[in-house]
């Protein structure tokens, strides 16, 4: 299994190079003010001994970890099957590695996991956290808040309209924090989708919602209602952002309102499920029923039959932005220039309609 020979320490390098620990530290950390020949000697000693700094020791004094946790409140099965997360993580990962930060992925399914994640964050393994796919009444924000870890949320948290859900923990933190988040203009995007369908002359426009305990789903529903002011409530069916959920919802809708002529699904995965059901029921798309999705997840939207018209949000950019916001906040923190660049605040990104063949 590989043996664990004791790793060389700063001390060892210093001895070998014939200098003090302080000098080695300076060289290793790229501080200037060390004369060239010494630098060379130290470099060589480091090389020869295969020295790598012990991060625990370093963190103990610097209180930095150069690591950021990404917390996703979904079961593995979803995280690893919904391309949404892949894209978001890709964006985050790029930004973090560009700034030499490690990404630590934490998935939380159940209650036990929450406790574990809380301990991990509070244990000071990471400098900050990126949290997404929050659900209503999720204990996570409270936990994170108590852990005192700087955080940026992906998607507007459900409790942003006031206080944290369960009151503040002992000792930690002062005022109720204003959450910093990155989100798409879900409501606006939904409006655009539904208006597009209406512009096509459709009047019986149905909506398949996402999991309504997430703000993204609720916001898209609101957008739908903005346009369909007095819509038949039976035209709305609740989904859960999964293909299976989309199928179920579509069947339900077809059952309740056989005369529907359009469907706006809250994401592409559900739209794909809906398309399958429509085909099974002999409805032609877009002739009989027009369909619009949300996300523009390329591997999904381009592969459906026919290719999916959808609302595009730049997910990778959202990820990048989350990471950037967090790192900037950490920086600001470190350099004490509170308020110079201004406290980072939330960002809402615009969406665009991508026309393909389903509407």
Partner DNA sequence: GTGAAAGCGCTAACAA
Partner DNA sequence: TTGTTAGCGCTTTCAC
Binding site for DNA (CB under 7 A): 6, 9-11, 18-23, 25-26, 28-29, 33-35, 37-38, 51, 53-54, 57-58, 60-62
Q: Which is nearer to a second copy, 34 or 86 (CB)?
A: 86
Contact 254, 260 (CB under 8 A): yes
Task: Give the residue from 152, 156, 133 showing the smallest Cα distance to 144.
Answer: 152
Instruction: Choose which of 22, 52, 163, 357 interacts with a second copy (CB under 8 A).
Output: 52
Region of residue 9 (phi > 0: left; psi between -120 and 50: alpha; otherwise: beta): beta
340 binds, among DNA, a second copy, none (CB under 5 to 8 A by kind): none
For the record, the structure tokens of 243 come out as 């293909």
Q: Which is nearer to a second copy, 97 or 352 (CB)?
A: 97
3 state SS of 123 = coil
Which residue, chain included where needed, has tokens 């999916």? 308
Q: What backbone phi and psi angles, to 5 degrees, belong to 124?
A: 70, 50
Q: Which is nearer to DNA, 57 or 163 (CB)?
A: 57
Interaction of residue 29 with a second copy, rule CB under 8 A: no
29 binds, among a second copy, DNA, none (CB under 5 to 8 A by kind): DNA
Q: Which is nearer to DNA, 48 or 76 (CB)?
A: 48
Render 183-240 in DSSP notation, one character per residue: EE-HHHHHHHHHHHHHHTT--SEEEEE--TTSHHHHHHHHHHHHHSTT--GGGEEE--
Least distance (Å) from a second copy to the CB of residue 270?
Answer: 16
125 binds, among DNA, a second copy, none (CB under 5 to 8 A by kind): a second copy
Least distance (Å) from a second copy to the CB of residue 258?
Answer: 26
Interaction of residue 60 with a second copy, rule CB under 8 A: yes
Q: Which of residues 80-139 bind a second copy (CB under 8 A)?
A: 80-81, 83, 85-86, 89-90, 93, 97, 100, 102-107, 112-113, 116, 119-120, 122-125, 128
Q: Which of residues 174-233 bind a second copy (CB under 8 A)?
A: 174, 177, 180
Q: What backbone phi and psi angles, to 5 degrees, belong to 146?
A: -65, -30
20 binds, among DNA, a second copy, none (CB under 5 to 8 A by kind): DNA
Q: Which is nearer to DNA, 53 or 165 (CB)?
A: 53
Residues forming a β-bridge with 348: 183
CA 183 to CA 111: how far, in whole Å?
26
Least distance (Å) from DNA to the CB of residue 47?
Answer: 15
Distances (CA, A) of 143 to 115, 163, 165, 351: 8, 14, 11, 32
Contact 293, 273 (CB under 8 A): no
Interaction of residue 358 with a second copy, rule CB under 8 A: no
CA 261 to CA 286: how far, in whole Å?
9
23 binds, among a second copy, DNA, none (CB under 5 to 8 A by kind): DNA
């Amino acid at each position: 299994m590989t043996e664990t020979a004791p790793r060389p320490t700063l001390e060892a390098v210093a001895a070998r190079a014939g200098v003090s620990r302080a000098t080695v530290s300076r060289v290793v950390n790229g501080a200037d003010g060390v004369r060239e020949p010494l630098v060379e000697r130290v470099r060589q000693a480091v090389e020869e001994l295969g020295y790598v700094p012990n991060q625990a020791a370093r963190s103990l004094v610097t209180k930095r970890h150069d690591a950021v946790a990404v917390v996703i409140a979904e079961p593995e099965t979803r995280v690893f099957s919904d391309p949404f997360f892949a894209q978001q993580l890709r964006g985050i990962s790029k930004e973090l590695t560009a700034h030499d930060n490690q990404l630590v992925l934490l998935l939380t399914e159940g209650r036990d996991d929450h406790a574990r994640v809380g301990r991990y964050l509070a244990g000071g393994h990471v400098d900050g956290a990126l949290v997404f796919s929050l659900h209503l009444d999720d204990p996570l924000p409270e936990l994170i808040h108590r852990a005192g870890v700087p955080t940026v949320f992906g998607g507007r948290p459900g409790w942003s309209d006031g206080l944290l859900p369960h009151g503040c923990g002992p000792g930690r933190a002062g005022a109720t924090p204003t959450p910093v988040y990155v989100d798409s203009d879900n409501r606006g995007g939904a409006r655009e989708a539904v208006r597009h369908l209406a512009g096509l002359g459709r009047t019986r426009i149905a909506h398949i919602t996402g999991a309504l305990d997430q703000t993204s789903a609720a916001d898209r529903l609101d957008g739908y209602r903005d346009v369909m002011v007095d819509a038949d409530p039976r035209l709305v069916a609740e989904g859960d952002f999964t293909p299976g959920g989309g199928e179920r919802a579509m069947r339900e809708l077809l059952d309740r309102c056989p005369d529907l002529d359009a469907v706006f699904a809250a994401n592409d995965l559900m739209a794909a499920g809906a398309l399958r059901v429509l085909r099974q029921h002999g409805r032609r798309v877009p002739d009989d029923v027009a369909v619009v999705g949300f996300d523009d997840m390329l591997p999904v939207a381009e592969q459906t039959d026919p290719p999916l018209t959808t609302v595009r949000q730049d997910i990778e950019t959202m990820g990048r932005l989350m990471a950037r916001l967090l790192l900037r906040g950490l920086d600001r923190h470190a350099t004490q220039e509170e308020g110079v660049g201004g406290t980072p605040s939330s960002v809402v990104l615009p969406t665009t309609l991508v026309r393909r063949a389903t509407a």
